[in-house]
Chains A and B, each alone.
Chain A
Amino acid sequence: MIEFRNINYRINLKYILENINLTIADNEFVAIIGPNGAGKSTLIKILLNIVSDYEGKVLIDGRTNTDWLKDNRIGYLPQKEDFDRQFPASVLELVLMGSAATKGLFRRFSTDDRKQAEQALDEVGILSLKAQQIGSLSGGEWQRLLLARALLTGSKYLILDEPEAGIDKPGVTNFFDLLAALHKQGKTIITISHDLHMLNKYCTFLVCLNRTLHCHTETDLLTAEHIHNTFGDGVKLIEKDY
């Protein structure tokens, strides 16, 4: 279970997040929605302790996030991962990053570690690409690589920041099918997304965020009012099908 308690985060006196109180139960498929600049990615970064100068408390399984993260990992797919396209790493080498912490200092990856990484790649459907250089991947392949890396952490939590970015529409559907399968296996999934159609189809719990929380409810209970409160009056809901 993940709990955000009285979270406030300011940059130069401007509130990025204000009075966030939110509990996410285990085995939910949670979507965080909100306009650009709403603080969605910041909330995730606070959970992961990438952003640490906030007020309030974050608890994971009853322990503070900093304490929990000392001996646990969260499978994380960032919105954008800064790296040099020419970086000399193969797909398999980057996936192994997910299990590097459990190996500890001075220990090299074993054959068993490589087999587990290959299994993760197989699970996300890109095992055939394991020897390719990471810079040569398409948007969809890249997201699958990041998902394989997140899976290799063995964490029950998977956190995704706009995973549909840079993928074509059939690719997005395939990717969310994959997430749904992982959710069925018992993973707690938290994803930031702008694709309300996908979220409505796959997610079990919705968090509407625009600096403050506007709703946190089961997906079925989401109303047009929630959307308008979060995104403002200029937004219209349009039904679309893939």
Chain B
Amino acid sequence: MLSYSFLIHALLGAILSGISLAILSPFVTLKKIAYMGEALSHIAFAGIALALLLSLNLTLTTVIFVLAVAGLIGFVSRFFQTEETNVITIFLSIAMALGIVLISLKKDYSFDLASYLFGNVLLVTKTDLWSLGLLAILNTAFIVLLYKELFYLIYNMTMAEVFGIRVKTVYYAFLLLLALNIVISVKIAGIILVTAQLILPASIAFRLVKRLKPAIVISVIVSLFSSLIGFYLSWVFNLPTGAVIVLVEFVLYLLSLILYRKSQKQAQ
């Protein structure tokens, strides 16, 4: 099967995208900003639509669009003193609506909703692979170099500030990195897989270990394993790769819950 270069590209794309998101997964889960991840991936849809309509560079346009909307969300919630979750929901809906309108304006383009939801790893290009590879390195470097600050900001941001830790700058940098990951991954993996890869690996890891560093390692292993198995199963049964990877991760999540219950009972 791997004699086809597009299949190798697809497999590498799924693995690299999975690793990148899985590294961030424990931080996203503990800071309880998984919702932000999902919102950004929906907002990216409008960015993609805008790039398609105006025939602009897809990645660059989407990155700029997502960052601009993320900034707008922050501004609106602070300036008008509105609950941030509500503002995110409003902008998420507007972005989806705008995306659909923009897609409909591009008459010669037949839009495939499934590829937007689940991505299309079979269309991964060499440029995509380079982007994903660089992103995986960037994520790893970010986590390794700023682990201390990230650890305390997800524990309690106010207290971290009281103790003089420069968490605000690190938090904004983290959100920026998260937006970049989502934009680059959503084209290949789709909204559903991006959201799943941000939540499921860490949710599985924290059922198995009680420390952050091992949880990061387990998240990456879970993501790698589910990408490989999901990819293989999707090839054997001719199913959409992104969707099968999500289902494999869900099965692993169920297993982790069973293991957790067993260990709790044994502890009692």
A107 to chain B: which residues have CB within 8 Å? 148
Q: Which of A74, A94, A133 contacts B155 (CB 8 A)?
A: A94
| Contact (Cβ within 8 A) A69 B159 | no
| Contact (Cβ within 8 A) A93 B156 | no
Whether A86 contacts B148 in the complex (CB less than 8 A), given A73-B164, A97-B160, comes out as no
Q: How many residues of B contact A (CB 8 A)?
A: 26
Closest chain-B Cβ to A58's Cβ sits at a distance in Å of 15
User: Is A98 in the interface zone, CB < 8 Å from B?
Assistant: yes
Tell me the nearest residue of chain B to A100, going by C-beta: B165
Q: Describe B's contact surface by its main secondary structure.
A: helix
A78 to chain B: which residues have CB within 8 Å? 159
User: Is B118 in the interface zone, CB < 8 Å from A?
Assistant: no
| Contact (Cβ within 8 A) A101 B30 | no
Tell me the nearest residue of chain A to B148, going by C-beta: A100
Q: Digitize B163-195: 1 where CB-to-A-CB distance is under 8 Å, 0 elsewhere.
A: 111100010000000000000000000000000
Q: What total of A-B pairs shows CB separation below 8 Å? A: 67
Q: Digitize B182-222: 1 where CB-to-A-CB distance is under 8 Å, 0 elsewhere.
A: 00000000000000000000000010011110010000000
B113 to chain A: which residues have CB within 8 Å? none
Q: Which of B147, B164, B212 contacts A101 (CB 8 A)?
A: B164
Q: Digitize A96-120: 1 where CB-to-B-CB distance is under 8 Å, 0 elsewhere.
A: 0110111101111100000000000
| Contact (Cβ within 8 A) A81 B159 | yes
Per the bound structure, the CA–CA distance linking A97 and B152 in Å amounts to: 7
B206 to chain A: which residues have CB within 8 Å? 86, 88
A76 to chain B: which residues have CB within 8 Å? 162-163
Per the bound structure, the CA–CA distance linking A84 and B146 in Å amounts to: 21
How many chain A residues sit at the interface, stated as a range, is 20 to 34
User: Is A210 in the interface zone, CB < 8 Å from B?
Assistant: no
| Contact (Cβ within 8 A) A88 B162 | no
User: Is B38 in the interface zone, CB < 8 Å from A?
Assistant: no
User: Is A13 in the interface zone, CB < 8 Å from B?
Assistant: no
Per the bound structure, the CA–CA distance linking A11 and B84 in Å amounts to: 21
Q: Digitize A44-84: 1 where CB-to-B-CB distance is under 8 Å, 0 elsewhere.
A: 00001010000000000000000001000110101001111
A84 to chain B: which residues have CB within 8 Å? 30
Per the bound structure, the CA–CA distance linking A141 and B163 in Å amounts to: 20
User: Is B145 in the interface zone, CB < 8 Å from A?
Assistant: yes
| Contact (Cβ within 8 A) A108 B148 | yes
Chain B residues close to A by CB (< 8 Å)? 30, 145-149, 151-152, 155-156, 158-166, 170, 206, 209-212, 215
Q: Contacts A83-B155, A87-B155 known; list 16 others, CB within 8 Å.
A: A50-B158, A50-B161, A83-B156, A87-B30, A88-B30, A88-B206, A88-B209, A88-B210, A88-B211, A89-B155, A100-B148, A100-B149, A100-B163, A100-B164, A105-B146, A105-B170
A-B pairs, 7 with minimum CB distance: A101-B164, A88-B212, A100-B165, A106-B145, A88-B211, A101-B165, A88-B210
A-B residue pairs in contact (CB < 8 Å), sample of 6: A86-B206, A97-B155, A97-B159, A100-B164, A101-B166, A108-B148
